């Protein structure tokens, strides 16, 4: 048995806990638990009790399947409160030897992360993209090099303190600690992007139920991230309202029919059977459905592409767009996006280096949770390389301990909680 690593994706439609056994870099899924999520809106916890209950169900199911007791998780975060910015820092190396020490790396990171953030926000990630030693760029680990001037370029992600704390609180409520909070699209990128794409320049879009998460990678690293509050649930809602059917029926129609195109002439004649709110069967034209779905997707992607354009990356992503998340399964979506914006689009799935439970590994619905586990492995390697936890904070951002769960009191509470859970 290797090390047990657990990812916890608290999404708008579902909560998933994935238990993996990691040995010699090999990740094997040994347990999975999933529960419908009822306490989130647009990626943000709005009901602590409901969210706690969903997490509890997912965790218990995963624990039973893996036959382990989960104590720590890497948990994802999203929501429109997230913002990101690029910054750089500089320090001089004044000691006689001019050999760069770990301490200098920490100083330069501290310098780079000194950005203005609003009083109700906190740092989530400070990700070093590259170090520069006396003007020489592209250095990933400057410790041990000789120089007088050390610079770093970082990508900084911040989020609302309340949103972060609510996630931690809900996880703590089930007697589990949060090792790290990870930006969801950053996690997903570990599951679905390959190195070549990240080097060349690529935009990842994780379209879930409540949010569309965008992350842009270039030269192997993250350059931009943004969370938009529109996704699959909005399409379902539009269908429910437009066709006067229940939410469940609307979701079924969406999943079955995908994205009929307004340009498709035959859509006028083709009929779809739907069940109305009055439980009556009715036939509607595909075109009617297209008129509902297409404008919503146009709105979503115009917004997403607008964000990418605004930051000047439209021509800097030759590897195109990689779609993931449940809504990426929408039939015809890659073709629609590719046509409308004249860009290469693929669905991101089939992550490498992870084994077991094929259905999970291959579905874009689980990209975030798989990515959380992969991210955690990389983050732990980073601690190993830099030898302390401060390194992790620098690399991955917030290393958060659930308040009240540390020490004897925490253990007692955990025990009590488990006892009550039965």
Ligand X SMILES: Nc1ncnc2c1ncn2[C@@H]1O[C@H](COP(=O)(O)OP(=O)(O)OP(=O)(O)O)[C@@H](O)[C@H]1O
Give me the residue label for tokens 């290797």. Answer: 2
Question: Is 304 buried (19+), middle (13-18) or exposed (0-12) by CB count in 10 A?
Answer: buried
Binds 330, which of ligand X, Mg ion, none (CB < 5 to 8 A, cut-off by type)?
ligand X
Q: Which residue is nearest to ligand X (CB)?
A: 326
Q: Which of residues 329-368 bind ligand X (CB under 6 A)?
A: 329-330, 365
Among 365, 294, 369, 371, which residue's Cα sits nearest to residue 327? 365
Q: Does 191 bind ligand X (CB under 6 A)?
A: no
101: number of Cβ within 10 Å: 14
DSSP-assigned letter for residue 314: T
Binds 153, which of Mg ion, ligand X, none (CB < 5 to 8 A, cut-off by type)?
none
Which x/- pattern, by CB under 6 A, does the window 66-85 give for ligand X?
------------x-------
Q: Does 208 bind Mg ion (CB under 5 A)?
A: yes
194-210: burial string, b at 16+ Cβ within 10 Å, e else: eeebbebbbbbbbbbbb
**Residue closer to ligand X (CB basis): 366 or 395:** 366
Question: Is 402 buried (19+), middle (13-18) or exposed (0-12) by CB count in 10 A?
Answer: buried
Alpha carbon dihedral 357, 361, 363, 367, in 10-degree steps, equals: 130
**Residue closer to ligand X (CB basis): 232 or 334:** 232
- Report the residue count for the chain: 422
Q: Does 113 bind ligand X (CB under 6 A)?
A: no
Binds 33, which of Mg ion, ligand X, none (CB < 5 to 8 A, cut-off by type)?
none
306: number of Cβ within 10 Å: 12
Binding segment for Mg ion among 107-115, 163-171, 200-208, 274-282 (CB under 5 A)?
200-208
67: number of Cβ within 10 Å: 9
Q: Which of residues 241-260 bind ligand X (CB under 6 A)?
A: 251, 254-255
Q: Does 11 bind Mg ion (CB under 5 A)?
A: yes
Q: Does 239 bind ligand X (CB under 6 A)?
A: no
Say if residues 37 and 78 touch (Cβ distance below 8 Å). no
- Distance CA(417)–CA(422), nearest Å, equals 9
Q: Which of residues 134-173 bind Mg ion (CB under 5 A)?
A: none
Binding segment for Mg ion among 106-114, 267-275, 367-375, 380-388 (CB under 5 A)?
367-375
**Residue closer to ligand X (CB basis): 190 or 386:** 190
Shortest Å distance, C-beta 412 to ligand X:
33
Shortest Å distance, C-beta 206 to ligand X:
6
Spatial CB neighbours of 167, under 8 Å, sequence gap ≥ 6: 10, 45, 75, 77, 178, 181
Binds 43, which of Mg ion, ligand X, none (CB < 5 to 8 A, cut-off by type)?
ligand X
301: number of Cβ within 10 Å: 20
Shortest Å distance, C-beta 396 to ligand X:
20
Positions that interact with ligand X (CB under 6 A): 11-14, 37, 43, 78, 208-211, 231-233, 236, 251, 254-255, 325-327, 329-330, 365
Positions that interact with Mg ion (CB under 5 A): 11, 208, 368
């Amino acid at each position: 048995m290797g090390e047990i690593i657990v990812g916890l994706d608290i999404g708008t439609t579902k909560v998933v806990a994935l238990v993996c056994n990691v040995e010699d870099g090999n990740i094997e899924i040994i347990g999975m638990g999933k529960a419908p999520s009822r306490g989130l809106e647009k990626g943000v916890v709005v009901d602590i009790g409901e969210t706690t209950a969903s997490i509890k169900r997912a965790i218990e199911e995963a624990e039973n399947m893996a036959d382990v007791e989960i104590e720590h998780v890497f948990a994802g975060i999203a929501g429109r409160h997230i913002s990101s910015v690029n910054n750089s820092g500089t320090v001089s190396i004044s000691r006689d030897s001019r050999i760069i020490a770990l301490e200098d790396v920490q100083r330069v990171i501290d310098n780079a992360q000194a950005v203005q953030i609003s009083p109700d926000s906190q740092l989530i990630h400070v990700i070093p993209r590259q170090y520069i030693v006396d003007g020489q760029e592209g250095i990933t680990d400057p410790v041990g090099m000789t120089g007088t001037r050390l610079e770093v370029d970082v990508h900084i992600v911040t989020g609302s303190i309340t949103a972060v704390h609510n996630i931690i609180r809900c996880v703590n409520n089930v007697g589990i600690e949060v090792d790290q909070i990870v930006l969801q699209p950053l996690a997903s990128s570990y599951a679905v992007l390959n190195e070549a794409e990240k080097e060349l320049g690529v935009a990842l879009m994780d379209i879930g139920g409540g949010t569309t998460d965008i992350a842009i990678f270039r030269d192997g690293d993250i350059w931009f991230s943004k969370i938009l509050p529109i996704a699959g649930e909005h399409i379902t809602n539009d269908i429910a309202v437009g066709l006067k059917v229940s939410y469940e029926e609307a979701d079924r129609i969406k999943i079955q029919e995908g994205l009929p195109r307004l340009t498709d002439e035959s859509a006028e004649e083709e009929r779809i059977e739907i069940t109305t709110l009055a439980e009556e069967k009715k036939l509607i034209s595909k075109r009617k459905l297209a008129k509902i779905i297409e404008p919503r997707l146009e709105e979503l992607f115009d917004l997403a592409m607008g964000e990418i354009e605004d930051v000047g990356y439209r021509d800097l992503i030759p590897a195109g767009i990689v779609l993931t998340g449940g809504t990426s399964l929408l039939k015809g979506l890659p073709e629609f996006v590719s046509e409308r914006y004249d860009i290469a689009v693929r669905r991101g799935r089939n992550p490498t280096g992870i084994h077991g439970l094929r259905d999970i590994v291959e579905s874009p619905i689980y990209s975030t949770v798989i990515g959380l586990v992969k991210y955690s492995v990389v983050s732990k390697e980073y601690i190993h390389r830099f030898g302390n936890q401060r390194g992790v904070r620098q690399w991955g951002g917030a290393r958060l301990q659930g308040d009240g769960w540390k020490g004897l009191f925490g253990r007692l509470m955990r025990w009590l909680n488990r006892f009550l859970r039965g």
